[in-house]
Amino acid sequence: MTSALFTPLFQTQAMAALFDDRAVLGAMLQVEAALARAQAGIGMVPTAALAPIQAACDPDLYDMAELGRATALAGNPAIPVVKALTAKVAENDPTAARHVHRGATSQDIIDTGFVLRARHAVALLRTDLDRAIHALADLSRRHARTPMAGRTLWQQALPTTFGLKAAGWLSLLLRVRTRLLDAGKAAETLQFGGAAGTLASQGSQGVAVARALATDLSLTLPDTPWHSQRDRIADLGAALGLLTGSLGKIARDIAHLMSTEVAEVFEPAAAGKGGSSAMPHKRNPVGTTIALSAAARAPGLVATLLTAMVQEQERGVGGWHAEWLTLADLFALTSGAMAHMADTLSGLELDPARMRANLDLTDGLMMAEAVTQALAEASGRHDAAKIVEAACKRAVAAGHGLLEELATDAAIITWLPRERLAALMQPESYLGAATDFVSAVLTTYQREMN
């Protein structure tokens, strides 16, 4: 569905243009023109028929509403398109009209038309995906040592760095990028099998026509037609679902970090962006909201494609038809989420001072594991965790910091003097392999993106 009100919010204009009626018709006509050229190239169609056929393969020559009404009766758009194309060619050359759509079937035209558009759609997504990836690489590099609270189950856990968080996002998108490009490439496969997948209508030249058509359209020639074998389509849909889900994970993190109580990270500010109709003080998430909405909707669409894989014999009933709008919706949702998140990550605003302040919210409790490890190593005690846990409970009950409680506990201070405890309580001293992980992801980034 296209909407003047909602389309600009949930999908990009470029992606919407790839899946509007004119683009769908244009792709089918592109296949019809290429088929005529392929058949003319091996002598099946007179060369003289090419010009009239190609001249008629202009989507602006046709009444879209009329084609839509005819599609409702025919069951798919290729049938009225071929009829209208034949009539248009016949207006100038009745002989050439006999060679329109020669030996093809509706699904050949619709599927091949789709993969031509999907090729461009994946390229559009790749542009914004690469923009997001480059932004994350920069954030990972610049903030490899910027400390912040790591959070598990919505609670502060241990110190981490924003660079490691960004590197985790980066690693995720690098993996999904590979999956998307692989699935997109696999989908660039010609569909040309005729009525039942044998190309009997092409006589002895079926393979030659298919090869010439694939070459003309720069598509892979499959071993067999794939009318009822929908794995490539489902794989592409799954890759789109993985991408939206990955963007949703990143968006969820950012939206949480934007909350008033956390306030460590913010979407880039812009006039009119993220306001509230009732509360002038609010700075609401926008890009992350769109990404999360796409992540909520995409799984159902992917499930439709997986369900549609179960098709009967050489041509299925209903499953193929279920793909058409589902794929358009998936590309639309993914494009909006991807563009919004690329903008968000490219202009992400950080507050390192707030990150550091939030590390002190628990008054040292976050560093209990570091103390436990040090106590166990210094004393050899197997019950170090119980000793420190008890100190944490006393500190909370007394309303003072953990350091004060630890420094008065004989079972601890005997092995860890106050100076040592104070050093252990510094979040920067307990970051483990964070910078090593960041470096590893950046190495992968350099290898895959350069």
**What pLDDT score was predicted for residue 283?**
65
Q: What is the mean pLDDT of residues 68-92?
A: 96
Closest CA to 262 of 163, 122, 402, 358: 358
At 251, give phi and psi (nearest 5°): -65, -40
**What pLDDT score was predicted for residue 381?**
79
What is the C-alpha to C-alpha distance for residues 301 and 305, in angstroms, rounded to an integer? 7
**What pLDDT score was predicted for residue 281?**
52
Q: Which ranges constitute the DSSP H helices of 309-348?
A: 319-346
Annotation says 171 is catalytic: no
Determine contact, residues 241/330, Cβ cutoff 8 Å. yes
Q: What is the share, in percent, of the chain residues with pLDDT greater than 70? A: 96
**What pLDDT score was predicted for residue 379?**
87
Instruction: Convert the pLDDT of each residue in 301-311 to its tens digit.
Output: 999 999 999 99
Tokens of 95: 């002989």
Q: What is the mean pLDDT of residues 174-193?
A: 98
Determine contact, residues 311/228, Cβ cutoff 8 Å. yes
**What pLDDT score was predicted for residue 267?**
92
**What pLDDT score was predicted for residue 92?**
92
Catalytic residue among 131, 145, 297, 315: 315
Q: What is the mean pLDDT of residues 204-214?
A: 96
**What pLDDT score was predicted for residue 276?**
45
Instruction: Using the Cα atoms of residue 13, residue 19, residue 21 and residue 25 in order, give the sign of their dihedral.
Output: positive
**What pLDDT score was predicted for residue 1?**
61
**What pLDDT score was predicted for residue 380?**
84
Instruction: Convert the pLDDT of each residue in 42-63 to its tens digit.
Output: 999 999 999 999 999 999 999 9
Using CA atoms, how far residue 302 sits from 160, 308, 333, 384, in Å, is 35, 10, 12, 50
Cβ count within 10 A of residue 226: 19
Q: Using DSSP, state whether 150 is helix, strand or coil.
A: strand
Which residue pairs from 284-287 have beta carbons closer than 8 angstroms and sit at least 24 positions apart in sequence?
285/251, 285/254, 285/255, 285/258, 286/340, 287/251, 287/340, 287/341, 287/343, 287/344
What is the C-alpha to C-alpha distance for residues 431 and 370, in angstroms, rounded to an integer? 10
> Please, which pLDDT band fits residue 130 given cuts at 50, 70 and 90?
very high
Q: What is the mean pLDDT of residues 55-79?
A: 96
What is the C-alpha to C-alpha distance for residues 260 and 279, in angstroms, rounded to an integer? 14
Residue type, 50: L
- Altogether, the residues listed in the chain come to a count of 450
At 39, give phi and psi (nearest 5°): -75, -35
Q: How would you classify the pairing of strands 349-350 and 265-266?
A: antiparallel
Q: Using DSSP, state whether 269 is helix, strand or coil.
A: coil
pLDDT above 90: residue 91: yes
**What pLDDT score was predicted for residue 82?**
97
What is the C-alpha to C-alpha distance for residues 405 and 363, in angstroms, rounded to an integer? 11
Q: How would you classify the pairing of strands 147-152 and 155-161?
A: antiparallel
What is the C-alpha to C-alpha distance for residues 427 and 437, in angstroms, rounded to an integer? 18
Annotation says 346 is catalytic: no
Q: What is the mean pLDDT of residues 236-253?
A: 98
The number of CA neighbours under 13 Å toward the Cβ of 69 is 4
50 or 8, greater pLDDT: 50
Residue type, 22: R
Q: Using DSSP, state whether 220 is helix, strand or coil.
A: strand
Catalytic residue among 69, 276, 418, 429: 276
pLDDT above 50: residue 241: yes
What is the C-alpha to C-alpha distance for residues 446 and 448, in angstroms, rounded to an integer? 6
**What pLDDT score was predicted for residue 120?**
98
Instruction: Convert the pLDDT of each residue in 323-357 to its tens digit.
Output: 999 999 999 999 999 999 999 999 999 999 999 99
Instruction: Convert the pLDDT of each residue in 260-279 to its tens digit.
Output: 999 999 999 765 555 544 44
Instruction: Convert the pLDDT of each residue in 390-408 to its tens digit.
Output: 999 999 999 999 999 999 9
Tokens of 89: 């060619």
What is the C-alpha to C-alpha distance for residues 76 and 353, in angstroms, rounded to an integer? 60
Closest CA to 435 of 172, 146, 156, 150: 146
What is the C-alpha to C-alpha distance for residues 77 and 260, in angstroms, rounded to an integer? 52
- Mean pLDDT, all residues of the chain: 94
**What pLDDT score was predicted for residue 145?**
97
pLDDT above 80: residue 8: no
Which are the contacts of 259, defined by CB distance < 8 A and separation ≥ 6?
none
